[in-house]
Structure 1
Amino acid sequence: MSPAFTRRTRWVAGSAVAVALLFAGAATVASARGGTETSGPPRTPSAGSADAGFARDMAVHHQQAVEMAFIVRDGTEDEDVRRLAYDIANTQAGQRGMLLGWLDLWELPKTAPDGQGPMAWMEGGAHSDHGGHDMAGMAGMAGTEGMAGTEGMDHDGALMPGMATRTELGRLREATGAKAEILFLQLMTDHHKGGVAMARGCTRQCTVPVEKRLARGMVEAQQSELDLMADMLAARGAAPRP
C-alpha cells in the first residue's frame, strides 16, 4: 500500500469520525431543544422556511468545499495549503452532517419544494460576481424572489453564491504545485465569501436557535480563513479574484 494511499485513507477516516460525532451532537441538541430556547412545545420548520432552505443549500455548498479540499491535497506538497484544506474538509463535512441531520429530524426533504430554486429562502437574494458568472444577474435578485426560477437552468454547476463551476473544478484537478495552490485559494476565497453571505442570511431569517448559532459560527470561522487565504495568496505573489 502506497504512503499516499495510507495518508488519504487516514484523512477520510478522520473526516468520517468528525461527521459522526457532530451529527450525533446535532441530533442530541435538536431533540432536546426542539428548535426553541424554552421548555415549550417543539416547533418544526416548514419545507419552505429559511431554516430548511439554509440547511439544504449550505449542505450542497459545503460539499463542494470538501471536494475542492481533497483535490488540492493531491495537487500540492505544500504543508500550509494541505493543512488548510484538511481543516476546511473536516469542519465543513461535520457541519454538513449537522445540517442534513436537522432535515431528517424535522422530517423534511433534502431537495427544495416544487417551484423553488436555490437561495429562494433568502430575502433579497444573494449574489457573487466572480469567475464570469454573476449570481445576481442569473435570477434577477428582485425583492424576495431570491433565486427562484433558476431551477433546471445550467450555470456550469454554480447554482449558489461562490460555488466553483465545473470548468473551474476541472482546472483545479489538472493543476499542480504553486498553480494548484493559487487556484485553490482563489476558488475557496470566492466560496467562503458566498458562504458567509448565506450564513448571515440565516442569522437574520432562521428561527431555530441552534441553527442560528451555527450560522454565526460559520461567519466568524470563514471570515478568519478569508484573512488567512489573503495572506497565503500574497505570499505566492497572487491575490483574490476581483
Structure 2
Amino acid sequence: MRRRHIGWAAGAAAAALVAAGAITYAVAEDTGGPRTRTPGAESADAGFARDMAVHHQQAVEMSYIVRDRTKNEEVRRLAYDIAQTQANQRGMLLGWLDLWGLPKVSAEPPMTWMGMGRMASGEDGALMPGMATNTELKKLGSLSGERAEVFYLQLMTDHHKGGVHMAEGCVARCAVGVEKRLARGMVEAQRSEIELMTGMLRERGAGPRS
C-alpha cells in the first residue's frame, strides 16, 4: 500500500506539472491575444470554473473514503481513476481563474451562470446538482465492504449526472475554447463512467437511485 501511495503521489505531481504547462499555453492561446477579452468574474467561463472545482473536490473526497472502506480492486481502481482525473481537472480550472485574475469564490449562489442560482442549492451541504449531502458523506464513511461499494457507486452516479449537466451548460455558454473542449471531454468521460457504474451496481444486485 505504501508503494502504491508513493507511486500515485509521484504520478499526480508529474500530471500537475504537465497540466500547469498546458494551462498556460492553452489559455494564452485562447485569451492572450490583443483582440481577445479575458472572461469577466460573472461570466459562464468563470462560473463554471469555480463551481466545477467545488463539484470535483467532493468526488475526490468520496473516492478517498471508499478506497479505505473496501478491498474490492475494481471499485478501488475506479475510485483511484476518478480521484486522479478530477483532482487534475480541478487544478486546471483553478489555474485558469488565476491566469484570468479572477476570484475563486463568488458572492453569487452556485450555478448562477446557468440561470439556476438559489434553485440549485440543496440542503445539508449539497450545493449543486448531483452533490452528496453531509449526511450521505457521513454514511459512506460508516459503511464497509459491498455496502460501501454500492452506496459509493450510487452517489457517484448521481454526482456524474450533475457534472454532465454542468459541463453541457459550459459547452453551450462558455466563450473560451480550451474550457469548452475540457467540458466536452467531461461529458463524454462521465457518461461512459455512468454506464460502467450502472453495470457494477447490477453485478451487486442494485441500481442507480434515479
Task: Give the TM-score, by structure 1 length.
Answer: 0.82
Which of 37, 52, 58 in structure 2 is aligned with 1:43? 37
Counterpart Cα distance in 1 of 2:61 and 2:20: 19
Residues 51-103 of structure 1: CA deviation (Å, up to 9, x unaligned)? 00000000000001011111111111111111111110111011101100100
Asked whether the 8 Å contact 2:150–2:204 carries over to 1, the reply is yes
How big is the shift at 1:31?
1.5
Counterpart Cα distance in 2 of 1:33 and 1:159: 30
Calculate the aligned-residue CA RMSD, in Å. Answer: 1.8
Runs of 4+ displaced beyond 4 Å = none
Letter in 1 for 2:188: E
Asked whether the 8 Å contact 2:122–2:128 carries over to 1, the reply is no
Is 1:119 aligned to residue 111 of structure 2?
A: yes
Counterpart Cα distance in 2 of 1:170 and 1:14: 29
Counterpart Cα distance in 2 of 1:77 and 1:171: 18
How big is the shift at 1:157?
1.1
Q: 1:149 to 1:239 in 2, by over 3 A?
A: closer
Counterpart Cα distance in 1 of 2:170 and 2:50: 12
How big is the shift at 1:149?
7.9
Which residue of structure 1 lines up, in the alignment, with residue 117 of structure 2?
147
Which of 182, 205, 208 in structure 1 is aligned with 2:173? 205
Letter in 1 for 2:18: L
Asked whether the 8 Å contact 1:66–1:88 carries over to 2, the reply is yes
Letter in 2 for 1:120: T
Which of 96, 108, 111 in structure 1 is aligned with 2:90? 96
Which residue of structure 2 lines up, in the alignment, with residue 178 of structure 1?
146
The structure with more helix, counted as a fraction of residues:
2
Count of aligned positions:
210
Letter in 2 for 1:29: A
Counterpart Cα distance in 2 of 1:172 and 1:15: 25
How big is the shift at 1:15?
2.6
Which residue of structure 1 lines up, in the alignment, with residue 196 of structure 2?
228
Q: Which SS does the other structure have where 2:36 is aligned?
A: coil
How big is the shift at 1:218?
0.3
Task: Give the TM-score, by structure 2 length.
Answer: 0.94
Counterpart Cα distance in 2 of 1:14 and 1:182: 28
Q: Which SS does the other structure have where 1:194 is aligned?
A: helix
Asked whether the 8 Å contact 2:30–2:176 carries over to 1, the reply is no
Counterpart Cα distance in 2 of 1:154 and 1:218: 23
Counterpart Cα distance in 2 of 1:23 and 1:156: 34
Counterpart Cα distance in 2 of 1:229 and 1:169: 18
Counterpart Cα distance in 2 of 1:214 and 1:102: 12
Counterpart Cα distance in 2 of 1:70 and 1:28: 31
Flag structure 1 segments of 5+ consecutive residues without an equivalent.
Answer: 123-143
Which residue of structure 2 lines up, in the alignment, with residue 169 of structure 1?
137
Q: 1:156 to 1:148 in 2, by over 3 A?
A: closer
Which residue of structure 2 lines up, in the alignment, with residue 29 of structure 1?
26
